[in-house]
Structure 1
Amino acid sequence: MMNRTATDWNENSGAHIRVAYAGLELKDLIFNDLGENFRIVFNDTLKDLEEYLGEQSILSVPDIILVEVDKEEKCFLLVEKLKENFLMNGLIVIMLSTRADKRLVQKAMQMKLHDFYTYPFPTSDLRERLNFLVKFKLIKPKLLELSKEVDITYEVPLGKRMLDLFISGMMMLFLSPLFLIIAIAIKLDSKGPIFYKSKRVGTGYKVFDFYKFRSMRTDADQLLEQLSSHNQYADEGATGKKAAFVKIKNDPRITKLGQFLRNSSLDELPQLFNILRGDMSVVGNRPLPVYEAEMLTSNEWSMRFLGPAGLTGLWQISKRGKEEMSERERKKLDNFYAQKYSFWLDVKIIIGTIPALFQKEKV
């Protein structure tokens, strides 16, 4: 039987965000912890949710759909059906589960849902995630808007920019024969382009085209969703929360030549062009893929985007490739550099980068 309950609309608490919920197992938890922050309509079953959504107009459709994973896993079929409805296209969809099952997570990722939480999880994390996704609706194609929201802007000091131009210009000049050799080797090793271009997020959440020598198969991006559940930083504790930094051990997507290029960091050489363009510096925090950057928008971690983006940094010279390095340690190093960077710290990092180029672990 359908049992819908809508929380009171309290403008002062930000409860203007409309949420449609389906499920009973976590209903009380969501009602007690999120009821004051969002305008939630609770539906006991998937059928109730489908009927409720069918009654909505373009003016009343919810911002977010929260769905508990049912035993028969019909929730996935419902989401697929909703995606076919133009009115529901673009809705934020998040699934909640009381079962720790990586297969369910993989299925959710393949369907490109916005998130998947496995109970127990901190409801404060879910609250922050919902607020973020609504404020920056469909963040992946709209990170340029996010760059306008940061409170602090970063401008490259003249001395740092001159050092960047000198180092990148000289390296591109002297390494041009090596560039040619690597390009020929990539063409002989596997089918596909010589360079790999992807969107990365740098200083102030600004998005730019990021260049590397191709070290992976041409279908690498499609394989990522299937492999990410086995990555080095898969979970922080037992919360089931996704890690921001994706590193896959013994990654099968990497070609034979690509493994050598990665272990020697030669695949990074085309980023010298990014430095010449001013997209990034020689030293800074690594620019992140969009799907990683959009997980680091809380006040605690957004600091890393308020410093320069760089080819090398503190993480690369201190703990790169070490098994015991946690996601939190890496983010703390990024935040430290954003706050403390200086000319002499840059020089120290550049000197320390040379012995850090060859890694022991295949990451």
Structure 2
Amino acid sequence: MNHQTANWNESSGSNIRVAYAGTEFKDVIAAGLNEGFKIEYNSSIDQLNDYLGEQSILSVPDIMLVEVDAEGQWIKLVEEVKKSFLLNGLIIVLLSSRADKTLKQKAIKLKVHDFYTAPFTISDLRERLNFLVKFKLIKPKLLELSKVVDTTYKMPAGKRLIDLVISGGMLLFLSPVMLVVAILIKLDSKGPVFYKSKRVGTGYKVFDFYKFRSMRTDADQLLAKLSAENNQYAAEGGEKTAAFVKIKNDPRITKLGNFLRNSSLDELPQLYNILRGDMSVVGNRPLPIYEAEMLTSNEWSMRFLGPAGLTGLWQISKRGKEDMSERERKKLDNFYAQKYSVWLDLKIIVGTVPALFQKEKV
């Protein structure tokens, strides 16, 4: 698919300093990043290392663009950069000539900003570098994004009233069920009853998100490996890291967890989030920080300009189906952010009831 770079994004890339290492993609990079980027070319990782060692706080580059070498020198380089007081703010993007899940897995563990596998679209890379500079370098903390978004979302009084009535009523009515679930979780496996994680909602606001625990206690540590090997959305992502992570036949889920997920009972603690005002009954799902950071482009940040919710268009459309592509899910989120209304919310709430009983294998 041909990717069109937004005009405002082109202007934001003026004089971005890039330290490049490698020769295989040098001509492509030189042709595609010839405007708005000041690139220092190095033929090898050793040469790049020497170049970085000569920099001061005033001359350090914004981006380190590195070709993955067969000997694995890139791994040591990234590790050293991460440890350096002067260089640890560098944006790190890797380019690989071969599709290798092991390489991507290592890159994820090293927490690089992106990983591209040939063939990749140079306009797509250019836009990604611009956005990484804007949101990673200039505004490195995701918490600050909520202060600079162009459009803010204010919860309509009617929608908030519906949220309070539904969440308050359901918490009261379902409290015996929640107590039973909590006891079963304790009996089923070791670990806490509730799972708490940081999620990004409306306007990039970060909040504590609650669920009944349905996974092993080491689930977060296993995510990097599984997302590189078995992510539902990765197949369509091609050279780019997929924004969403959905593991097929997730081995981290406990026996009881499968039942809790298929029945959606694991979602009940989010009624507390709704009561607090972190999210709404209907909206776009609040995302983990690592997913939200992938959706900072002008095309997809729209989904954060609408309410975050417990249920939404994605849940009632194709939840758990193999043919739900990453782009389809993004488009559903954008549509809701632009078109949400009380009547659409009511339609989604009615459609959520049968969706609760869909058997989800992903």
User: TM-score interval w.r.t. the shorter chain?
Assistant: over 0.9
Q: Which residue does the alignment assign to 2:326? A: 327
CA distance in 2 between partners of 1:323 and 1:224 (Å): 20
Q: Which residue does the alignment assign to 2:303? A: 304
CA distance in 2 between partners of 1:315 and 1:17 (Å): 37
Q: Which residue does the alignment assign to 2:236? A: 236
CA distance in 2 between partners of 1:308 and 1:49 (Å): 45
CA distance in 2 between partners of 1:52 and 1:226 (Å): 32
Q: Is the 8 A contact 2:13 2:130 kept in 1?
A: no
Q: Is the 8 A contact 2:243 2:294 kept in 1?
A: yes
Q: CA deviation at 1:198?
A: 0.7
Please give the residue correspondences for 1:273-288 in structure 2 after superposition, counting only pairs within 5 Å.
273-288=272-287
Q: Is the 8 A contact 1:236 1:242 kept in 2?
A: no
Partner secondary structure for residue 236 of structure 2: coil
Q: Is the 8 A contact 1:264 1:358 kept in 2?
A: yes
Number of aligned residue pairs: 352
CA distance in 2 between partners of 1:266 and 1:223 (Å): 23
Q: Is the 8 A contact 2:135 2:296 kept in 1?
A: no
Q: Which residue does the alignment assign to 2:76? A: 77
Q: Which residue does the alignment assign to 1:271? A: 270
Q: Which residue does the alignment assign to 1:4? A: none
TM-score, normalising length: structure 1? 0.93
Q: Which residue does the alignment assign to 2:292? A: 293
Segment of structure 1 superposing worse, 210-219 or 74-83: 74-83
Q: CA deviation at 1:58?
A: 1.4
Q: Which residue does the alignment assign to 1:46? A: 45
Segment of structure 1 superposing worse, 228-237 or 244-253: 228-237
Please give the residue correspondences for 1:8-27 in structure 2 after superposition, counting only pairs within 5 Å.
14-27=13-26
Segment of structure 1 superposing worse, 36-45 or 76-85: 76-85
Q: Is the 8 A contact 2:283 2:312 kept in 1?
A: yes
Q: Which residue does the alignment assign to 1:154? A: 153
Segment of structure 1 superposing worse, 295-304 or 158-167: 295-304
CA distance in 2 between partners of 1:301 and 1:79 (Å): 29
Q: Which amino acid aligns with 1:232?
A: Q
Does 1:252 find its partner at 2:251?
yes
Structure 2: runs of 5 or more not aligned: 1-9
Please give the residue correspondences for 1:197-236 in structure 2 after superposition, counting only pairs within 5 Å.
197-229=196-228, 230-236=230-236
Q: Which amino acid aligns with 1:23?
A: G
Q: Is the 8 A contact 1:168 1:273 kept in 2?
A: yes
Q: CA deviation at 1:140?
A: 9.9
How far does the alpha carbon of each residue in 1:226-281 deviate from its partner, in whole angstroms, 9 at most, with x for none?
000211111326x3212111111110111111111011000000000000011111
Q: Which amino acid aligns with 1:60?
A: S
What is the percent sequence identity of the aligned residues?
78
Please give the residue correspondences for 1:324-363 in structure 2 after superposition, counting only pairs within 5 Å.
324-363=323-362
Partner secondary structure for residue 311 of structure 1: strand
Q: Which amino acid aligns with 1:268?
A: E
Partner secondary structure for residue 208 of structure 1: strand
Q: CA deviation at 1:290?
A: 0.8
Q: Which amino acid aligns with 2:279?
A: M
CA distance in 2 between partners of 1:360 and 1:140 (Å): 40
Q: Is the 8 A contact 2:64 2:93 kept in 1?
A: yes
Q: CA deviation at 1:361?
A: 3.3
CA distance in 2 between partners of 1:317 and 1:275 (Å): 19
Q: Is the 8 A contact 1:235 1:242 kept in 2?
A: no
